[in-house]
Amino acid sequence: MSESNVARLVVRHRLVWALVALLLIGLAVWWFAGSRTSIPEKKAGYAAGATPPVPVKIEIAKVQDLDIYLRGLGTVTAFATVTVRSRVQGELVEIPFKEGDKVKAGDLLARIDPRPYKVALDQAKGTLAQDVSQYENAKLDLKRYKTLKEQKSIAGQTVDTQMSLVKKYQAIILTDQAAVDNAQLQLDFTRIVAPISGRLGLRQFDVGNILVTNDPQGIVVLTQTQPISLVFTLPESNLSEVRDPMLAGKTLTVDAYDRADTKRLGQGVLMTVDNQIDVTTGTFKLKAQFANDDDALFPNQFVNVRILVRTLKDALTVSAASVQQSSQGAFLYVLQADGSAAVKQVKVGPRTADRVVILEGITAGDKVVLEGTDRLRAGSKVRVIGDGSAPPASVSASDSASLNPPLSAPAAGQATPQTGQSRP
């Protein structure tokens, strides 16, 4: 046999073995896939090829009191903000506060060198004492002149002149006293005290600097944080829901949450509503007050706001996630006694973040499908794997895949209803 014939046989044998290997691999894959899909079918207790029940979670429609909140965005605002400045010029010799300290009205914040102002005060007091002495002497002379006039020893003009001199010294004493008071005031201004109670910011000057009167930079900024206010906005469509209870004398509660809207920072009360609507945004402003005892609210902080406007008594409610939407309106999947799901058209009332009031369509105690609605149709058989209040102890891989199917394009003519979307 020639070498070329031997080579052809080797190549042919290799091709045959490759085809046999591919066939064996295909059979193994087919057997493995069949055995995997048969396990959940046997567990579910239905024959291979039959449509399996759809695994779902349910909840019970219940009657409860439901708080209705309006939501808005707001900014924390200090009730008072003061830039502490010096009212006299001089060397800064003492700063007894620490940055970030809480202070009370009247607490010492800074002290300027008082010696020049003490000298000015002593000088003003000396001038006053000198003029008081001259005034007393003029009064004695006036008394003598009056006596001499009665004895007809001097002319009446002398008495009148002396009386004018006494009044002149009285006016000079008033001026001197004003100068003393002004010098004392300037000396008092060397002690810079807190005008309000609040929290101090970062200081702008150090000891040894020369301060000038009314420096725009200021020594430190003082903000009142207890209590603190919150200014927020709501759409103008909510105006009557806020004003009506206020006019009736009801105090509305306001909750402030962090930027993520998960942690409550404080609870306060509504103080007032602005007197006009912003025509550019269609909103109106409101102002609330918070005690802020724990300093959780910070000036200029952005917060999410929830204001409680009313409480519905004995309302029939379900979870907001269970409400579906179609071209005919809102509907729910309700579990029937035979284990199938029925579509119930409902009339939806007020809602909160996670609960919805159902006005018509179902009754208290109905079992409403909460999760797994993507594969449901009217009359579909269902298998309950959770009650909606807590996750089941164990969920099989097939159940998990059924509750959360992969995204794929629907078959022609088949609808895929989802929460908040229309169902064709």
Q: What is 69-79+223-312's CATH number?
A: 2.40.30.170
β-pairing verdict for 220-223 and 228-235 = unpaired
Looking at the DSSP bridge assignments, the partners of residue 234 are: 284
Short-list 41, 83, 306, CA closest to 204: 83
pLDDT band at 257; cut points 50, 70, 90? very high
What's residue 3's pLDDT?
A: 61
Q: The tokens 């409550």 sit on which residue?
A: 264
Do residues 189 and 87 touch, judged by C-beta distance below 8 A?
Answer: yes
What's residue 422's pLDDT?
A: 38
Q: How far apart are CA 393 and CA 274, in angstroms?
A: 52
Do residues 384 and 56 touch, judged by C-beta distance below 8 A?
Answer: yes
pLDDT at 343 over 50: yes
Q: How far apart are CA 174 and CA 186, in angstroms?
A: 18
Q: How far apart are CA 328 and CA 337, in angstroms?
A: 25
Q: The tokens 């891989």 sit on which residue?
A: 397
In the chain, residues under CATH classification 2.40.50.100 are: 84-221
Query: 333: burial class by Cβ within 10 Å (0-12, 13-18, 19+)?
Result: buried
β-pairing verdict for 54-60 and 382-386 = parallel
Do residues 118 and 188 touch, judged by C-beta distance below 8 A?
Answer: no
Q: The tokens 């509750």 sit on which residue?
A: 403
**pLDDT digit string, tens, across residues 206-230:** 999 999 987 888 999 999 999 999 9
Handedness of CA 329, 332, 337, 340 (dihedral sign): positive
Q: Among 108-122, 194-208, 373-387, whose mean pLDDT is lowest?
A: 373-387
**pLDDT digit string, tens, across residues 139-155:** 998 888 888 888 888 88
Q: Among 157-166, 317-326, 340-349, 408-417, whose mean pLDDT is lowest?
A: 408-417
Mean pLDDT (the chain, rounded): 83
For residue 283, give the amino acid letter.
T
Phi, psi (rounded to 5 degrees) for 83: -90, 110
| CATH 2.60.40.10 is right for the domain spanning 84-221 | no
Short-list 38, 61, 58, CA closest to 392: 58
Helix (H) or strand (E) holding 367: strand 367-371
What CATH number does domain 54-67+314-390+398-403 carry, 3.40.50.720, 3.90.550.10, 3.40.50.300, 2.40.420.20? Answer: 2.40.420.20
Q: How far apart are CA 354 and CA 67, in angstroms?
A: 11
- Residue 173's SS3 state is helix
pLDDT at 46 over 70: no
pLDDT at 95 over 70: yes
Buried b (16+ CB within 10 A) or exposed e, 107-119: eebbbbbbebbee
Query: 205: burial class by Cβ within 10 Å (0-12, 13-18, 19+)?
Result: middle
What's residue 404's pLDDT?
A: 43
Q: How far apart are CA 271 and CA 227, in angstroms?
A: 13
Residue 413 or 236, more confident: 236
Provide the terminal-to-terminal Cα distance of the chain, rounded to the nearest Å: 74
Q: How far apart are CA 275 and CA 273, in angstroms?
A: 6
pLDDT at 177 over 60: yes
In the chain, residues under CATH classification 2.40.420.20 are: 54-67+314-390+398-403
Short-list 127, 87, 131, 130, CA closest to 110: 87
Q: Among 30-39, 127-136, 280-289, whose mean pLDDT is lowest?
A: 30-39
Concatenated DSSP letters for 10-42? HHHHHHHHHHHHHHHHHHHHHHHHHHHHHHHHH
Short-list 64, 63, 66, 59, CA closest to 350: 66
β-pairing verdict for 228-235 and 283-290 = antiparallel
Residue 192 or 145, more confident: 192
Concatenated DSSP letters for 65-104? EEEEEEEEEEEEEES-EEEE--SS-EEEEE----TT-EE-
pLDDT at 322 over 50: yes
In the chain, residues under CATH classification 2.40.30.170 are: 69-79+223-312
Q: What is the mean pLDDT of residues 335-363?
A: 89
What's residue 6's pLDDT?
A: 60
**pLDDT digit string, tens, across residues 367-413:** 999 888 888 888 888 888 865 444 433 344 344 444 444 333 333 33
What's residue 387's pLDDT?
A: 53
Q: How far apart are CA 315 and CA 350, in angstroms?
A: 10
What's residue 269's pLDDT?
A: 95
Do residues 228 and 290 touch, judged by C-beta distance below 8 A?
Answer: yes
Q: What is the mean pLDDT of residues 152-164?
A: 87
